[in-house]
């Protein structure tokens, strides 16, 4: 689904023509390499226009009662649900995601985050007393929201919904690589009756629009999801104005399979977790640690699971994996696969080139490496593709040490007897640790340690990130 406003921006409650200095960019379907739409790339002037609209709207919107802000987000959810299939179609088109994955994972993620935010907002402790002091949570102000291409609705919903209930106004810059679903989101904001200036959308590049959102003195907070490299630049641009910076960045997540785990189940689920979304998830379990004396068995299981993956036409019901997002990403992954071979890892399955039978689209062969050491490039760098590194360990202490030996700390996984898994989970330096394959919990805080970012998203954690805390000292009895 391509918005009728594909070449416009949404500013101050209206679809507007970009400034004369805006340029054009084609949007590619990575499954076919065909250009399916053309968007405008905003200039600094376009970003300023949207920022000042958000600034003008903030004083009135910030005073809306919480119940009215929640009702607004409930209307947003209704509008999202009414166009759910359009969101799924847009993400399949812009990402090459298989139809069922776009519907059941990508579009669902946007829906569930709006639902979770509504529930959390109703239970949130917006104000309370401590003796004669009254503690208030208030919207931080104008927010610059910069979202990625790999989970478009997941990240837009888990930023916009909490910002709205907190009483913030905002400017959203979706990824210019996958902007179609973001334009639909602006349409449903309009349909839901979001007041003029409260939500604004400007498409553009990170170095232009993203940098302006991060540096502009009228922006109070920037919430960014993307690479660690880009996150460093966002923080640098934000520093002179001392604005709040919330970031969810890269990952190289460890998956420790304990000696007492069901190896068949643990390895199979680990491969599926790594390869989901074509390996393009920042929290994907890309480093699998297995007992050394069971590595050969684990490699055989991993090979079978990887070879059951079916890359191909997103519209084919048999397809499990779509392409990666672009030629640049494809080339990067190819180089890292070759690096793994050159550095001496055992290529269990997959390798360089496209999967057999596919001669167009940025499809990557589902790849598994064994005998990986923690010093190899494929164990250190975020690959962001369907590539799994399996590292053998002799003791659980060694596995924990290797798992923590990374600049990243977004997520981690432990599989095995529950009490042992709990103990290991406490030792891992990661913001979210999943024990034995639980369901996705959209009320659990999501964010990273170390170079994986700062701040936490989802439900009440996301709401808190968009709030300032004020103390009214001497307030007296409530």
Share of the chain above pLDDT 70, in %: 100
Query: 1 lies in a domain?
Result: no
For 124-134, give one letter per residue: b (16+ CB within 10 A) or e: beeeeeeeeeb
Task: Assign 151 a pLDDT band (cuts: 50, 70, 90).
Answer: very high
CB 433 within 8 A of CB 411: yes
pLDDT the model gives residue 22? 78
Question: What is the β-pairing status of strands 14-16 and 221-225?
Answer: unpaired
User: Domain containing 314: what range?
Assistant: 254-444
What's residue 327's pLDDT? 98
| Alpha-carbon separation of residue 100 from 97, 320, 355 (angstroms) | 8, 9, 21
Mean pLDDT of the chain: 97
- Which residue among the candidates 89, 115, 187, 248 is catalytic per the annotation? 248
Cα distances from 351 to residues 342, 365, 366, 380, in angstroms, run 12, 6, 8, 18
Query: What's the pLDDT tens digit per position in 156-202?
Result: 999 999 999 999 999 999 999 999 999 999 999 999 999 999 999 99
pLDDT digits (tens, 9 = 90+) for 351-396: 999 999 999 999 999 999 999 999 999 999 999 999 999 999 999 9
Report the CATH number that the domain containing residue 70 is assigned in CATH. Answer: 3.40.605.10
Does residue 478 belong to any structural domain of this protein?
no
pLDDT digits (tens, 9 = 90+) for 245-255: 999 999 999 99
Instruction: Work out the pLDDT band at 138, boundaries 50, 70, 90.
Output: very high
* Annotated catalytic residue 94: no
- pLDDT of 478 strictly over 80: no
Is there a single domain that holds both residue 202 and residue 133? Answer: yes
- Residue 324 confidence class, pLDDT cut points 50, 70, 90: very high
Confidence of residue 20 (pLDDT cuts 50, 70, 90): confident
Predicted confidence (pLDDT) per residue in 203-215, tens digit: 999 999 999 999 9
477 assigned to some structural domain: no
Check residue 214 and give its pLDDT: 98
pLDDT one-digit tens code per residue, 218-255: 999 999 999 999 999 999 999 999 999 999 999 999 99
> Does position 72 have pLDDT exceeding 90, yes or no?
yes
Catalytic residue among 158, 168, 282, 467: 282
28 is catalytic: no
- How large is the average pLDDT for residues 309-326? 96
Q: Would you state the pLDDT for residue 134?
A: 97
Q: Reply yes or no on whether the pLDDT at 3 is more than 90.
A: no
The domain total for the chain is 2
Mark whether 271 and 229 lie in a shared domain.
Answer: no
Is the model's pLDDT at 264 over the cut of 80?
Answer: yes
Q: Do 267 and 405 have their domain in common? A: yes
Is the pLDDT score of 1 beyond 80? no
Read off the CATH number of the domain in which 283 is found: 3.40.309.10
pLDDT at 417: 98
Residue 93: pLDDT band (50, 70, 90) is: very high
Residues 318 and 231 in one domain: no
Whether residue 23 lies inside any domain: the answer is yes
Residue 29 sits in the same domain as residue 104: yes
Question: Tokens 């922006």 correspond to what residue?
Answer: 219
Check whether residue 270 and residue 131 sit in a common domain: no
Would you state the torsion angle of the CA atoms of residues 330, 336, 342, 345, taken in this order, to the nearest 10 degrees? -120
Please give the pLDDT value at position 52. Answer: 98
Same domain, 245 and 288: no
């Amino acid at each position: 689904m391509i918005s009728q406003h594909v070449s416009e921006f949404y500013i101050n409650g209206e679809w507007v023509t970009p400034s004369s200095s805006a340029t054009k960019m084609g949007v590619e379907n990575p499954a076919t390499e065909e250009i399916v739409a053309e968007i405008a790339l905003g200039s600094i002037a376009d970003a300023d226009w949207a920022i000042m609209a958000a600034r003008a709207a903030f004083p009135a919107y910030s005073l809306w009662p919480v119940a009215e802000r929640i009702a607004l987000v409930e209307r947003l959810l209704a509008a999202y649900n009414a166009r759910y299939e359009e969101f799924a179609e847009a993400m399949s088109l812009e990402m090459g995601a298989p139809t069922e994955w776009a519907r059941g994972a990508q579009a669902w993620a946007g829906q569930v985050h709006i639902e979770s935010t509504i529930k959390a907002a109703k239970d949130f402790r917006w104000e309370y007393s401590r003796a004669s002091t009254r503690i208030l949570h208030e919207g931080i102000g104008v927010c610059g929201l910069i979202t990625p291409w790999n989970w478009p609705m997941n990240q837009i919903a888990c930023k916009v919904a909490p910002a709205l209930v907190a009483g913030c106004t905002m400017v959203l810059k979706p990824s210019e690589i996958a902007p179609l679903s973001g334009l639909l989101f602006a349409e449903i904001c309009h349909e839901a009756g979001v007041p003029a200036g409260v939500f604004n959308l400007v498409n553009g590049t990170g170095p232009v629009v993203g940098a302006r959102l991060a540096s502009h003195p009228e922006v109070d907070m920037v919430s960014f999801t993307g690479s660690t490299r880009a996150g460093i630049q966002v923080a640098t641009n934000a520093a002179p104005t001392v604005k709040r910076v919330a970031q969810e960045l890269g990952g190289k997540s460890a998956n420790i399979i304990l000696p007492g785990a069901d190896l068949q189940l643990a390895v199979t689920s680990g491969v599926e977790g790594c390869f989901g979304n074509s390996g393009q998830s920042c929290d994907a379990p890309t480093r699998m640690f297995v007992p050394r004396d069971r590595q050969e068995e684990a490699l055989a299981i991993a090979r079978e699971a990887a070879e059951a993956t079916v890359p191909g036409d997103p519209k084919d019901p048999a397809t499990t994996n779509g392409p990666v997002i672009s030629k640049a990403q494809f080339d990067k992954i190819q180089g890292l696969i070759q690096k793994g071979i050159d550095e001496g890892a055992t290529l269990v399955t997959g390798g360089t080139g496209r999967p057999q039978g596919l001669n167009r689209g940025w499809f990557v062969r589902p790849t598994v490496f064994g005998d990986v050491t923690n010093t190899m490039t494929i164990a250190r760098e975020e690959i962001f593709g369907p590539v799994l590194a399996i590292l053998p360990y002799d003791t659980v202490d060694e596995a924990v040490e290797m798992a923590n030996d990374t600049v990243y700390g977004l997520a981690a996984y432990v599989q095995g007897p529950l009490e042992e898994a709990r103990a290991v989970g406490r030792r891992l330096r990661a913001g979210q640790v999943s024990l034995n394959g639980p369901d996705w919990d959209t009320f659990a805080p999501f964010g990273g340690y170390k170079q994986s970012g700062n701040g936490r998203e989802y439900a009440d954690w996301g709401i808190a990130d968009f709030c300032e805390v004020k103390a009214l000292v001497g307030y007296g009895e409530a």
